[in-house]
Chain A
């Protein structure tokens, strides 16, 4: 009850959220390994979407290069683990620090020279691509040959060293996504969240109300980069192999943004809803395309889903779903 009040939810919405969490907690007990592995992909997508949403959904700064922060988090933690035996959790913190620095530097450079809108978006792509090419030639992390984490056949999960089953990663990611939800909610209800949204809506008006727009935009980018890098570190220890051309791929940057856009840009639950829908249906499409031997059905479906949302429900699926489920009592 207290949690519901703190989250500013109607009783019905609180019940829905409680039910969702309960189902998610119990799912691995009944689901088979395949379903769990799909759910891990869903949760990665949800969490990356939530991280991206802070910067683009809340503060309105379009990043099309978030694979950069996934990659920096993944490579930093993995390389420190492989070469120095550093704990993944410390490596994760290091990865977040690196990503925060990179994000702040890119933001400071761009905004200092008044690069905004689509030009800023192009710049985010450029930095991600440039880093990918740099890592292609970075011998210490394996360059194009890839970086591999030793796979230990453990009889039990070892969360301290991030070695273990899909189920362990499932619960870690679930916790992370719920933490991101709580953090996003807290931010939106504080001054910083109001300021970010004001900047998103009209920078000039925001400035006239005493907001140091430059500083707040950098803060949004830094936080978003740090959150993304945290997920990137988990991804490294889940996948166990890293190649610059997949980790920093342009395609990943695009995948990160589709779920929150479909779910509802700038909303709290949009990235989660979008991730379930897209990954769930995308996985079905992959199975269908294997079955019927049609290539690229999933990509086609992603495109179609994006078109449908833009045409029919431009503010995203979640705002519509919330009304349909009667969870939209009161103002939000």
Chain B
């Protein structure tokens, strides 16, 4: 295996009494698609925030392309090559959808025409081109999630962090999004780290899955390995069903 693109080494974060993330390590290889899953409150979003610089870890380190980016500010993390979306979407409401994405595209170029062009391409990838001129606050929630993604993509990241961007989508829309991300990763070599409750998407998309529970990594492996892991089944399905599944 080649050197990892993103490497998370033993990061921990404590909020008052709660150990939100506890000594978590994993890696994303270049071009890899890794899913971070776990029940609500498992520490997925906190892990994202530690990687993207929104909050500094208490201990541990984050390396991108071999460079230590631990505790960088969010804008520095972005310039280092991390593109992220927010689970609680944060559109620039008064700006048009295209302008929203252009803000992201301006990271790579100061030229408006070039930024516009790059933004269009991202909108087309995410199926938002028809909405380009609409104000962002007129979008539905699933559309806003796609806008988050398009905006992050426009910063031309080395790795894209997707925080539950498929929540609320219909199954056909999920399949479209899965295809869009798979194409993106294959065509551009973009690495993706995603958290998702939609297992259909996680299983179809990821090469590798990391499972968090109560802030700790309890398991990682290929989708097939993870799906068979008794600990995972237990934390997801509860005792009875896990036993039933294991017996079946």
**Closest chain B residue to A206, Cβ basis:** B103
Whole-angstrom distance between the Cβ of A208 and the nearest chain B Cβ: 5
The reply to whether B94 and A201 form a contact with Cβ atoms under 8 Å apart is yes
How far is it, in angstroms, between the C-alpha of A325 and the C-alpha of B28 when the chains are bound?
A: 56
Closest to B102 in A: A194
Are B103 and A194 in contact, CB atoms less than 8 angstroms apart? Answer: yes
Q: Which residues of A contact B74 (CB under 8 A)?
A: 204, 207-208
* Those of B48-77 within 8 Å (CB) of chain A: 52, 54, 73-75
Cβ-closest chain B residue relative to A331: B133
What sequence of 0s and 1s flags, for each residue 208-228 of chain A, a beta carbon within 8 Å of any chain B beta carbon? 111111000000000000000
Tell me, rounded to whole Å, the shortest Cβ–Cβ distance linking A197 to chain B: 6
* Contact (Cβ within 8 A) A191 B106: yes
Say what secondary structure dominates the interface of chain A. helix
Question: In the complex, which residue of chain B has the Cβ closest to the Cβ of A212?
Answer: B75
8 Å CB interface, A168-201 against B: 189-191, 194-195, 197-198, 200-201
Report if A198-B95 is in contact (Cβ < 8 Å); known contacts: A205-B90, A208-B52, A209-B78: yes
Q: How far is the CA of A261 from the CA of B151 in the complex (A)?
A: 30
Given contacts A194-B99, A194-B102, A331-B133, contact A209 B151 (CB under 8 A): yes
Q: Known contacts being A197-B94, A197-B95, is A208 close to B103, with CB within 8 Å? A: no
Minimum CB distance partner of A197 in chain B: B95
Q: How far is the CB of A275 from chain B (nearest CB, A)?
A: 23
Interface 1/0s, chain B 82-112, versus A by CB < 8 A? 0010100011111110010011101100101
Q: In the complex, what residues of A have CB within 8 A of residue B103's CB?
A: 194-195, 197-198, 206, 209, 211
- Known contacts A198-B95, A202-B91; A213 and B75 CB within 8 A of each other: yes
Bound-complex Cα distance A205 to B84 (A) = 9
Is B155 part of the contact surface with A, judged by Cβ < 8 Å? yes
| Interface membership of B79, Cβ < 8 A | yes
Shortest CB distance A194–B (Å): 5
Does chain A have a CB within 8 A of B211? Answer: no
**Are A190 and B112 interface neighbours, CB within 8 A?**
yes
Query: Please, which residues of chain B bring their CB within 8 A of the CB of A266?
Result: 94
Shortest Cβ distance from residue B99 to the other chain A in the assembled complex, whole angstroms: 7
How many A-B pairs with Cβ below 8 Å?
75
**How many whole Å from B72's CB to the nearest CB in chain A?**
11
- What separation, in Å, do the CA atoms of A211 and B78 have in the docked complex? 9
Whole-angstrom CA separation of A195 from B90 in the bound complex: 15
CA distance A190 to B110 in the complex (A): 8
Q: Is the CB of A194 within 8 A of B106?
A: yes
Give the interface size class of chain A: 20 to 34
Is the Cβ of B75 less than 8 Å from the Cβ of A205? no
Find chain A residues with CB under 8 A from B93 CB.
Answer: 201
Q: A208 and B95: CB pair below 8 A?
A: no
Residues of B within 8 A of A211 (CB): 75, 103
Q: Please give me the residue from chain A that is nearest to B79 by CB atom.
A: A210
Question: Nearest chain-A residue to B80 (Cβ)?
Answer: A210
B20 beta carbon closer than 8 Å to chain A: no
Q: Judging by beta carbons under 8 Å apart, are B96 and A189 in contact? A: no
Which one of A190, A194, A208 lies within 8 Å of B84 (CB-CB)? A208
B203 CB → nearest A CB, Å: 28
Contact B95 A201 (CB under 8 A): yes
The reply to whether B92 and A202 contact each other, CB–CB distance below 8 Å, is yes
Known pairs A191-B112, A191-B115; A210 contacts B92 (CB<8 A): no
Q: Given A195-B106, A331-B133, do A189 and B112 touch, yes or no (CB 8 Å)?
A: yes
Q: How far is the CA of A205 from the CA of B144 in the complex (A)?
A: 13
With known contacts A190-B112, A202-B90, A209–B73 Cβ distance under 8 A: no
Measured between beta carbons, the chain B residues less than 8 angstroms from A205 are 86, 90-92, 151
Q: Which of B86, B96, B99, B104 has the most CB of A within 10 A?
A: B104
Indicate whether B35 reaches chain A with its CB closer than 8 angstroms. Answer: no
Alpha-carbon gap, A212 to B102, bound state (A)? 16
Among B73, B84, B92, B155, contact of A198 (Cβ-Cβ < 8 Å): B92
- Measured in the bound complex, the distance between the Cα atoms of B90 and A189 in whole Å is 22
Q: Note all chain A residues with C-beta closer than 8 A to B128.
A: none
Q: What residues of A have a CB within 8 angstroms of the CB of B91 in the complex?
A: 201-202, 205
Interface string of A101-133 (1 = CB under 8 A from B): 000000000000000000000000000000000
Residues in B neighbouring A191, C-beta threshold 8 A: 106, 110, 112, 115
Interface residues in chain A, defined as those with a beta carbon under 8 Å from any beta carbon in chain B: 189-191, 194-195, 197-198, 200-202, 204-213, 266, 331
Taking A202-B91, A204-B74, A207-B75 as known contacts, 20 extra A-B pairs with beta carbons closer than 8 A to each other, sorted by chain A number, are: A190-B112, A191-B110, A194-B115, A195-B106, A197-B94, A201-B91, A201-B95, A204-B90, A205-B151, A207-B74, A207-B78, A208-B86, A208-B152, A209-B104, A210-B79, A210-B104, A210-B155, A211-B75, A213-B75, A331-B96
**Interface pairs A-B: 8 shortest CB-CB:** A210-B78, A201-B92, A205-B90, A207-B74, A210-B107, A191-B106, A202-B90, A198-B103
